[in-house]
Every structure is written in C-alpha cells, then in structure tokens.
Structure 1
C-alpha cells in the first residue's frame, strides 16, 4: 500500500513534471519577504530602487528591473521573449539566468527582494568562502530573484523551470550567482518551440551583456538544445551553480576565450575545422596550430570543439 508521502510525491510530479532534489537555491517566497512580478506574459516588476550602487562591468546602477522572461536588467525593462545572441550593443545591460519565453499566466511565480537578512548573508558568505576563497568575502547586501516553476508561452504540457539569480556585495566586490534547480523546457512556441515539449526553435540564453560589443559572456549551451542540461553544469564544482565577479568581470574555474567559457585544464579546438588546439591553464588560454587526425572527427563540445578519435575494436 502506498504511503501518504508517496502519494503526495506522485501528485507533485503530475503537476510539475519532476521534483528537484538538489539544494542549490537560496530561500525565497512570501515568507521571506519577497515581492512578486505581475502575472503577465512578458511582464516586469517595473523599476526597483536599490539601497546601494551595484557595479556591473565597471558601471554603477541604483535600480533594476526583474523581467518575467528570465532577465534582470539595469537600464530598461526587457519584454523581448526570443533571446538574441550576445553581444547586444544597444546599451542594454543585464544578467540573465535563463532568457526565454516565460508565461506565468500558464504557471509559476517570479519572486524578488533586496535583503540584508543576517541568515541569508551568512549563507552567501559561507558559500563564497568555498567558491571564491581568495576574496575573503563577507556579504553585506543581496538581491534575490527566483523564477519558481514557470511555464513557457504556448505550453501544452506540465513542464516548468525553477531558477534563480542572486546579486551580492561586501562593499568592495560585486558578485552574481546563478542557480538552476530544475530545467524542463528551453523555448516558447513564439520562438518556434514545440508546444508539447518546450524544446526546439531558438532556445534560452544564459549569461551577461554590458551593452557594448566587448563585455559579454554566454554560459556554455546558451541558445542551443544543450541549455536544457544547465542544471548539471557549473564553474565552481557545484552542479547547477555559476558564480561570477561582475565588476571587472571574472569567471572562476576557467578562462574566458572569445567571450566563452573554457574549464581550467581543458584542451579544446577553437573552430569547427579543428585546426587550432587551445588549453586553459591558470586562467589564461594558449593556442597552437594542431589538426585533428584524419581518423578523427571534429565535433561541437560545449562552447568549442573536440577531436573524437574512434576506439580500436578488440579482435
């Protein structure tokens, strides 16, 4: 006979598609003092005034917008639902944990709050001591935005996504933490996604845009089908979490090469012909001419390419 707990779990799965098992998110919800954005396709919080100046790519911002489509923007609200490839050079500065066509008319809530709650700040401090020990970081301020079980535009399924963006400062350093709890769809139907699966078309973008043609970053898999697996990726050895220093912009755990992320110690080819082999070492990328052998195939892998050599069979 099934227990009540088992029946409850099955009921949750039937409603939400799956139950996330990791603990990557910081606390959120009305009981944490969160506000919510309007329940509106392509909606926004409106301008939210901050108690501090948050530094992002060298510029200071005193307000932001939390946009339903998975974007925190500093200059203006972002209602666009199909993500463009970075960089966007029209002056728009934003953090996007998952820029896709959210429709919380069909399901989900977008929460946000500015906080100096000691318990939250202590948790962030402890996490960043593990992730960025060289900073000796002690959080004094945070802004938390959480997209909780949000549906996609045109959905004919029960697939939903839960993810979070956290901005934090200790008064000297400015950090962005992107957390991914459960990602089940990548694309709304207005972006040519499948209504039954939420896949295909132009998938979601994750990363940062400063508004110019130089300072931007895309998390590996952005605008490809691979973004569905973002909850299994990380740059700080903690699945589902990406951490960035966003004042002068640094990506721990690897290198930035052609505005893309290469893991520390990773060998990769920089183009689809696999004729230039590169390596990320101590935060720097070095490259040399080296071709993939004729017996191998050059295949896309993350942000770059890899040379696949078939294994010899056993006889």
Structure 2
C-alpha cells in the first residue's frame, strides 16, 4: 500500500534524525581522552591493514625502564615499539623475555582499512602539558611533577580484522618531565575481541612487565572503559622511568593490614588470588614494578 505524502515526509524526517544521531555519536570523544584527530592537528596513519607509522623522531628523550629513546613507532595493531616498527598481529603474551620494549594499550589484529583512523601528535607546550602535569600529580602526588613533553597516540573507532561492527577506541599517552616518565592508557567504547588480545607493557628480557587484569580475555575488553588503577574509569597510569627500586629486585617480606568481611574468606585459594591482585594494583599505582609477584607467607587474625 502506498504512503501518503505526509507519511513519506515523516519517514524522511525520522531517517535524517537517525543519521544525524549516528554521526554525532561517532564524533564524540571519551571525556578521559587527550585531544586527538584532525582538530588536534594529528598526523594520521595510512588506512591499510598492518601498515605501520613511519619513524617518529621524539622532540624530547623518553626514558623507559632505564633505556632512553629518541624515536618510536605507532604500530597499527595497537602497540608502540622503539627500535623498529612492527607489523606483528599475532599477540605474544607478556612476559615475552624478548629484546624489545613494548607499550601495548590494546595489542590485537586491527584492520584500519575497514574503519577508523590511527593518529598521533607531540606536544612541548600548551594546554596538553598542563593537563598531563595535573593528571600525574593527582596519581603520583609525592613527586611534584612538571610535564615538558607529551606524545598522544589514538586508535579511533578501529575494527578488528575479519570482524565488522567491532568499533573500538583507545589511546596511549607518553609523558616526560626530565628523568621522570609515565604512560596513560585510555579506553573508550571497546568491542569484544575475537582475536588474541592483550593490554599492558613489557621490557627487554621482561625485567618489568604488566598486563591489565582480564585483558587477555577477548570477552573482557568492553570492560576496559570501566576499569582503572587510579580510580578514573577507563584510565590506567604507570610510572615507567628508571628507578633504583626497579633494578636488582630481591625478595622482600612486608607486613600488610587489611579488613575483610570474613576471616574465612582468605582460606580459599581463589579468594586469596583476588585479594593479591587488588593489592598489587594498589601497589603498582604507587610505583611498585608490575613484574613483582605477591604471595602470602602468613595470615594472622587480630582484633579490630
């Protein structure tokens, strides 16, 4: 049955509203993201699967666990390398014990020829440095830090290889101030990953490494926008410069007091592992290397 002119007009009006809504949503960046894209003046990667960035000469040296770098590569498959570009789409799980430092906000098989862009930008002055200074001093208040250089790399609405409709947005921010270095990993809407995936960082010989809990499970990836180690949903922050407490680490025993709802909660191994994981996240936030392993030597019940 044909539609009246009025009905046709209403359908056209509704379609236009729907299209406008989709465009607006796609162009809205997550609040926690640093500026990116054409508005920020980013350099944009070529939209070819497994295509890597050209060499990026850093305006300031970046210290990563004792090694100083003057260049980096923003690789299409969700990770940064320093010595050479990488088209590696098959995820090697940390610790790799390899010869390359890797920063992986979301290492997986990305196909930007399907959708999305990868872009990056360096800053040595302006509001981005002010934002970075404020963020680092909030997360590491004992340092009195001032940012002098920032690199922002963003994967905006990219899709996983061979899986359409999997738009995923994430970002890594490298921040330097003299001999102090930090990285932020920011997550927006993320789709379930059907390919191998991992988020975190690794170092030469894996002397320091960290994997965001749950990130090797593809079904967990949408939860990244709610997870954090600094109480900011969707953001993970790490100090990654060279520090004496990260070199020649030896086994140490520390005493920790904590309150649990029931002492019997700690008698089951799976509950102990959960407590240790949460405790390690808090300690990493305060500067403990992610490679340090925690274990209970003794559990003692005391009166409150």
- Residue in structure 2 matched with residue 280 of structure 1 by the alignment: 279
- Residue in structure 1 matched with residue 191 of structure 2 by the alignment: 184
1:134 deviates by 1.6
Distance 1:77 1:134, change over 3 A: same
Secondary structure of 1:133's aligned partner:
coil
1:83–1:223 contact (8 Å) kept in structure 2: no
1:133 deviates by 1.6
Alignment of 1:1-315 (within 5 A): 7-8=18-19, 10-12=21-23, 22-155=30-163, 157-187=164-194, 191=195, 202=196, 204-224=197-217, 225-248=219-242, 278=276, 280=279, 283=283, 285=294, 287-288=296-297
Secondary structure of 1:69's aligned partner:
coil
1:161–1:184 contact (8 Å) kept in structure 2: yes
1:207 deviates by 0.5
Q: Which stretch of structure 1 is more off in the superposition, 271-280 or 110-119?
A: 271-280
- Residue in structure 2 matched with residue 294 of structure 1 by the alignment: none
1:39–1:109 contact (8 Å) kept in structure 2: yes
1:31 deviates by 2.7
1:187-222 Cα shifts (integer Å, max 9, x gaps)? 3xxx4xxxxxxxxxx3x1111111213321111112
1:20–1:181 contact (8 Å) kept in structure 2: no
Distance 1:87 1:39, change over 3 A: same
Give the root-mean-square deviation of aligned CA atoms.
Answer: 3.3
Q: Which has the higher relative contact order, 1 or 2, with Cα contacts under 8 A spaced 6 or more apart? A: 2
Distance 2:84 2:259 in 1: 38
Tell which structure's C-alpha radius of gyration is larger: 2
1:10-49 Cα shifts (integer Å, max 9, x gaps)? 4348x96xx8784010111123221111211111112111
- For structure 2, the 5+ residue unaligned runs are 1-9, 245-250, 252-256, 289-293, 300-304
Distance 1:129 1:274 in 2: 33
Greater fraction of residues in helix? 2
- TM-score (normalised: structure 1): 0.72
- For structure 1, the 5+ residue unaligned runs are 192-201, 251-257, 259-263, 291-315
- TM-score (normalised: structure 2): 0.75
1:220–1:227 contact (8 Å) kept in structure 2: no
Greater fraction of residues in strand? 1
Distance 1:287 1:115, change over 3 A: same
Equivalences, count: 260
Distance 1:186 1:249 in 2: 35
1:4 deviates by 9.7
Which structure 1 residue ranges, 4+ long, deviate > 4 Å from structure 2? 1-6, 19-22, 264-269, 271-279
2:191–2:221 contact (8 Å) kept in structure 1: no
